[in-house]
Chain A
Amino acid sequence: AQSVTQPDIHITVSEGASLELRCNYSYGATPYLFWYVQSPGQGLQLLLKYFSGDTLVQGIKGFEAEFKRSQSSFNLRKPSVHWSDAAEYFCAVGGGSNYKLTFGKGTLLTVNP
């Protein structure tokens, strides 16, 4: 069965600092990996996705993520965080003949001025 672990429930960073959100997955085949962001009371917005090819993927809003098969990880990074990045971030895994995505429980990001 596929699963996703986001080890950090809540992270606080200062505006302008760098950010890394961790995601570890378990999947029996080549995974499709996603990061979504959710602002309070809103739906989920896709930040970036990985299907194949270059293991470093660029997304919207200056985010990037790196797929590391040996570590079963897909960590999200941003070099300089803006106050508007405060939100909850979800990692998800799916793919192959499976129509479903499995989501992590999310990491809540707080940005201090």
Chain B
Amino acid sequence: SQTIHQWPATLVQPVGSPLSLECTVEGTSNPNLYWYRQAAGRGLQLLFYSVGIGQISSEVPQNLSASRPQDRQFILSSKKLLLSDSGFYLCAWSGGKETQYFGPGTRLLVL
């Protein structure tokens, strides 16, 4: 069966520091991968999605970037964190255009 992992689970970072969040999927090949950010009362905001290695689509211009160095690995990065980057970050995968399955999330607090 398929499994999706995210780490770290929790992260506290100072403003201006870099960021790297990792997401990996097991048990499937060539998944579509997604990064979302969830802020209280605002639902889920799609940040990036990828349909293959090296293929990244950005949904919202911002301080973040994403990369997909391997088929089942999706990384969310920032060179300099802002206070507004705080939130709950969720990675998801899908086998096509349909159902998305979510990881456990990373809680990021920027101080």
Contacts and interface: CB of A to CB of B under 8 A. Distances in A.
Interface of B: 32, 34, 41-44, 46, 49, 51, 59, 90, 92, 94, 97-105, 107
The residue in A94, A97, A101, A106 that gathers the most chain B C-beta atoms within 10 A of its C-beta is A101
A70 interface: no
B97 A98 contact: yes
B32 A41 contact: no
Interface of A: 9, 32, 34, 36, 41-46, 49, 51, 90, 94-101, 103-106
Contacts of B59: 100
B98 A51 contact: yes
The residue in B92, B94, B99 that gathers the most chain A C-beta atoms within 10 A of its C-beta is B99
A33 to B, nearest CB: 11
B97 A95 contact: yes
Contacts of A41: 105, 107
B90 A99 contact: no
A107 B29 CA distance: 34
A43 B97 contact: no
A79 B42 CA distance: 28
Contacts of A104: 43
B98 A90 contact: no
A95 to B, nearest CB: 7
B102 A43 contact: yes
Contact of A105 (B32, B43, B90, B100): B43
